[in-house]
Amino acid sequence: MKDKMCMRVFDENSGIKQSSGLMQASKICLVVLVWAALAANAQEQQPKFKVPVPQGTRQPRVLTLEECIQMALQHNLDIQIQRYNPLINEYALNINSAYYEPTLSFRASHNFNSSPGGINPQTGLPFTSSERNTDSYTPELFGTVPSGDLPIGGLTYDLIGPLSEQSGSSIPPGSSFKYTSSPGITLRQPLLKNLWIDNNRFQILLSKNTLKTSKEALRQSIMATITSVQQAYYNLIFAREAVKVNQAAFQLAEQLLNENRKRVEVGALAPLDEKQSQSQAATSWADLLSAQHVQVTQENLLKGLLTDNYGEWANVTPVPSEGLSAVQQEVDLQQSWRIALEKRPDMAQQRLFLDRQNITVKYNYNQLFPQVDLTGSYGRNAANNTFSGNLDDIRQERNPFYSYGVIVSIPLGNGAARNSYKSAKVSAKQALLQLKQLEQSVIVQIDNDVGQVELTYRRIGATREARIFAEEALYAEQKKLENGKSTSFVVLQLQRDLTLTRSNEIRALADYNIALAQLALDEGITLEQNRIEFKVK
């Protein structure tokens, strides 16, 4: 009985009577619903790709490379900071040069003196008490004579013109004059120590050297900034082109994925091929996201070089107006070496450093000598009861005076001067070796730069051919896949190869232009190539 009941439950051909047409329609509907549910579930499991769009409302601003360089020259913070160094060093030079400015002084005093009466021991005559008021005026002008470019110097001068005016009572009458003066000049000239260089001339020479060095450092900073702008500009072009390449790769991968889905649905392709194309599409999508991030990073890098107020550029997208091109530039290694050793700012700075050491050697050598100074003075004495008479005495040279002599000072031992001189000589030798070391480094650097220029130019041709062949190979393989004579795996591999060759081509173009900019920097001719005149006000 149980078996019969079971048969009736599960046997559709026996038991309950029903319409055979209705049952058939129900079966069809059930199959359709199940198929739709499975398709919907499969669709939910498929990765959903959406072309990423950079966030924000940035406004594009088209810029040429020349405009970028001009902006950097005006607003780059590194350049603005370096511009102050020559100005500061010029002020320091002016401070040291002010040593030769003469000093004018004026002293005035009043003295009162009273004397008791008594007997003049010379005449035996009595004299009464006296009172005397003295007003003294002493103008003075003193300083050091500038030597300029003369090999000798150090002459000091002192012009003084004291004048006294006396009033009061004295015995005997007329024993003192009302006006007295003794104007004169005193000179002192070193003959050995401090003759051809002294401490002040030493400091002035060092200040001039420092000023020249700071100008070369500013020139180097400007050149480095221009090169950084060029590199950022070319890298931004590459980044934008790389986004286009990855967008094209994503479109190819998505197109293949859609075609493979259709082939799988009709049973012309295995599900594994669809999974492979899904993986390729996901990878292309991730690469596109990375490329767009690199583009934004390069935009920010360029903006940071162009402005001293980044907030004004926060919502701006710099768009290069130029494309990547390769204009072959002939390079001559020997010529590049000569130009670099002559024009590079760091070479100029190292030569100035060597000059600085030689100046120190010169000064310390002079300090080894004893101090032998020739001195002399000349003037006129005048005394009269009237001011005009006093002037007449001076003018007519009635009472001249003069003196001359030598002052000798010899340090015993002189250990400090001798060791300072030896240290300066060793430092100069070291500076000379450093200059030679830099020369050798420059030669190697230029050699590498020339090789890089030639290599990147050859890479452009090779990568262009590789890209063309990759396009042709992919096109042919896609045709074979359409005809069922290839596999999705092969097409995916050729798509990856095409993306790589396209990226390599634009990378080679960017690297070639960057290599030329780096060669110009290392040769020291960046300013000349960009028609920029370097002038420090």
- Alpha-carbon distance of 384 to 163, in angstroms, equals 11
Q: Which of 81-85, 466-470, 490-494, 533-537 has the lowest mean pLDDT?
A: 533-537
19-62: pLDDT as tens digits = 444 444 444 444 334 344 434 444 444 444 444 444 456 799 99
Q: Please give the C-alpha separations between residue 221 and each of 35, 142, 218, 229, 513, in angstroms, as whole numbers.
A: 70, 44, 5, 12, 20
Mean pLDDT within 96-108 = 94
Model pLDDT, residue 6: 36
3-class secondary structure, 142: strand
Q: Is 484 left (phi over 0), alpha (psi -120 to 50) or beta?
A: left
> Which residue do the tokens 């401490």 mark?
199
109-162: pLDDT as tens digits = 999 888 776 777 777 777 677 788 888 999 999 999 998 878 889 999 999 999
Residues of 274-309 as b/e, b for ≥16 C-beta within 10 angstroms?
bebbbebbebbbebbeebbebbeebbbbbbebbbee
Query: Do the beta carbons of residue 281 and residue 49 sit within 8 Å?
Result: yes
Model pLDDT, residue 170: 55
Q: Which of 6-10, 165-169, 282-286, 472-476 has the lowest mean pLDDT?
A: 6-10
359-398: pLDDT as tens digits = 999 999 999 999 999 999 999 998 888 888 888 888 888 8
Helix (H) or strand (E) holding 452: helix 415-482
Model pLDDT, residue 292: 93
Task: Sort strands 316-320 and 59-63 into parallel, antiparallel or unpaired.
Answer: parallel
Model pLDDT, residue 56: 52
| CB neighbour list of residue 412: distance below 8 Å, 6 or more residues apart | none
At the top level of CATH, which class does the domain 59-85+208-355+428-529 belong to?
mainly alpha
Question: Is the bond leading into 172 cis (omega within 30 degrees of zero)?
Answer: yes
Model pLDDT, residue 391: 86
> Against a cut of 0.75, is the pTM above it?
yes
223 or 267: which leads in pLDDT? 223
First-last CA distance in the chain: 118
Model pLDDT, residue 146: 92
Q: Which of 157-161, 397-401, 414-418, 454-458 has the lowest mean pLDDT?
A: 397-401
| CB neighbour list of residue 325: distance below 8 Å, 6 or more residues apart | 509, 513
298-349: pLDDT as tens digits = 999 999 999 999 888 888 999 999 888 888 888 899 999 999 999 999 999 9
Q: Please give the C-alpha separations between residue 278 and each of 242, 281, 488, 492, 496, in angstroms, as whole numbers.
A: 22, 5, 11, 10, 14
Mean pLDDT within 519-536 = 91
- How crowded is residue 474: how many other Cβ atoms within 10 Å of its Cβ? 20
Q: How much of the chain, in percent, has pLDDT values that exceed 90?
A: 59
